[in-house]
Structure 1
Amino acid sequence: MSKRSIRLPYPSDLSDQEWELIKPHIPIPNSNRGRKRVHSYQEILNGIFYLLRSGCAWRMLPHEFPPWKTVYYYFRLWRIDGVWERINAILRAELRTAYGRESEPSAAILDSQSVKTTETPGVRGYDAGKKTKGRKRHILVDTIGLLLMVVVHTADIQDRDGAKLVLEQVKGTFSRLQLVWADAGYSGKLIDWTKVVCGWVLEIVKRSDDVKGFKVLPHRWIVERTFAWLGRYRRLSKDYEGLTESSQALIYAAMIHIMVRRMAKIKPLCE
């Protein structure tokens, strides 16, 4: 009897249907050398998703999961190999298609979020606007709110400069992308830079001076909703990671968890 069959499930666990959606995209080593693997990839992913949702430390993973060193080993291996980004891209295209959209977006929304860091070693800076010492998460999402790209950098980098880090990585990746929406913090020279370097239109969605109080702005609410989705994962409440690459990988992993649950709900409708 497997370890998975004798333990009670956690809310963050993958169902068998959700696991079948991810399973084809998990890299399987070609070599037969070394000790035979004891723990299933499904349980390793369950450990990573538990950590994300609960906010616990690696060393505090419940003992029902594989040893924390094993879980962390695969998280790090898949981060280095770019597996998290690849699975995110595959599931995003499949989910967009399931929603009746083209697999690639023609428009996107850009925004950033400043979060505090902890005593964990690593780069950090001070965001004078948000009065936050830590890092910024710069994300680009499609019009459904699905993640296209994330770049984590120090919080002292201005939004316009941080945007270039994102857009330069996205350039050449999405052939249909033509339009990017952003708030007033990205206005100025970045508009011309985006047109010249990337070939896209950067459109600034401004708030009217006549409006008082809270106002939902066109397009911008989509990326804010994505940040709210990610906010359900307590490990992302602050940046606990020593490396910004690990921070990015956890954000991709959280979005994978979100997407695979949506796909499991709508897949029967698509068959």
Structure 2
Amino acid sequence: ENGHLLDVKTTTANIHDSKVGLMLLALLAASHPVIKKLLADRGYRGDLIELVRNTFGMNVEITLSGSSDGKFIPAKGRWVAERSISWLDNFRRLCRNYEDTLEVARQMVIIAGVAMLLNRLTAN
């Protein structure tokens, strides 16, 4: 809803998001059982939607990017996640893959998420 990180899963670049998405959803379902609705892009269509519904009791809504008369229209709700991910690029350690292990890369994303949250708290 507000773009805060709930959990992070890092993988090698040759694994598609939709393949690792199920692993991340298992983590989220265990740690945040109140989540019942997910917004996803077209990469998550197909059997994954039904599998997530049956396994975790979550509904996956596919949001489509749109345009009208050549003008960009942000996809409903998905812009929050896209914005938050783009904010992570402001952290130098995350703009390139400098880490030796996937776990260190995961921890760097978590540290950046905590820093963003602290910045929002101190701005108010």
Instruction: Report the TM-score, using the length of structure 1 for normalisation.
Output: 0.43
2:84 maps to a residue whose letter is T
**Corresponding position: 1:243 with 2:95:** no
- Give the distance between the partners of 1:211 and 1:164, measured in 2 at CA: 36
- Which residue does 2:14 correspond to in 1? 156
- Give the distance between the partners of 1:210 and 1:264, measured in 2 at CA: 39
Q: 1:261 to 1:207 in 2, by over 3 A?
A: closer
For 1:139-166, what per-residue CA distance to the aligned partner results, in whole angstroms no more than 9, with x for missing partners? xxxx100001111101221222121121
**Corresponding position: 1:147 with 2:5:** yes
> What percentage of aligned pairs have identical amino acids?
27
Aligned counterparts, 1:51-90, within 5 A: none
- Give the distance between the partners of 1:217 and 1:180, measured in 2 at CA: 14
- Which residue does 1:168 correspond to in 2? 26
Q: Decide whether the 8 Å contact of 2:99 with 2:105 is kept in 1.
A: yes
- Which residue does 1:265 correspond to in 2? 123
Taking only aligned residues, the RMSD between alpha carbons, in angstroms, comes to 1.6
- Which residue does 1:205 correspond to in 2? 63
Give 1:210 deviation, angstroms: 5.9
Aligned counterparts, 1:18-167, within 5 A: 143-167=1-25
Q: Name stretches of at least 5 consecutive residues in structure 1 with no aligned partner.
A: 1-142, 267-271
Q: Decide whether the 8 Å contact of 2:38 with 2:59 is kept in 1.
A: yes
Q: Decide whether the 8 Å contact of 2:29 with 2:35 is kept in 1.
A: no
With CA pairs under 8 Å and 6+ residues apart, which has the higher RCO, 1 or 2? 2
Give 1:214 deviation, angstroms: 2.7
Superposed structure 1 runs of 4+ greater than 3 Å apart? 208-213
Give 1:175 deviation, angstroms: 2.7
- Give the distance between the partners of 2:118 and 2:17, measured in 1 at CA: 31
- Which residue does 1:25 correspond to in 2? none
1:151 aligns to what SS in structure 2? coil
Give 1:211 deviation, angstroms: 6.0
- Give the distance between the partners of 1:175 and 1:152, measured in 2 at CA: 22
Which is helix-richer, 1 or 2? 2
- Give the distance between the partners of 2:104 and 2:71, measured in 1 at CA: 37
1:150 aligns to what SS in structure 2? coil
Q: Which of 37, 45, 50 is equivalent to 1:179?
A: 37
Larger Rg: 1
> Alignment length, in residue pairs?
124
- Give the distance between the partners of 1:188 and 1:204, measured in 2 at CA: 10
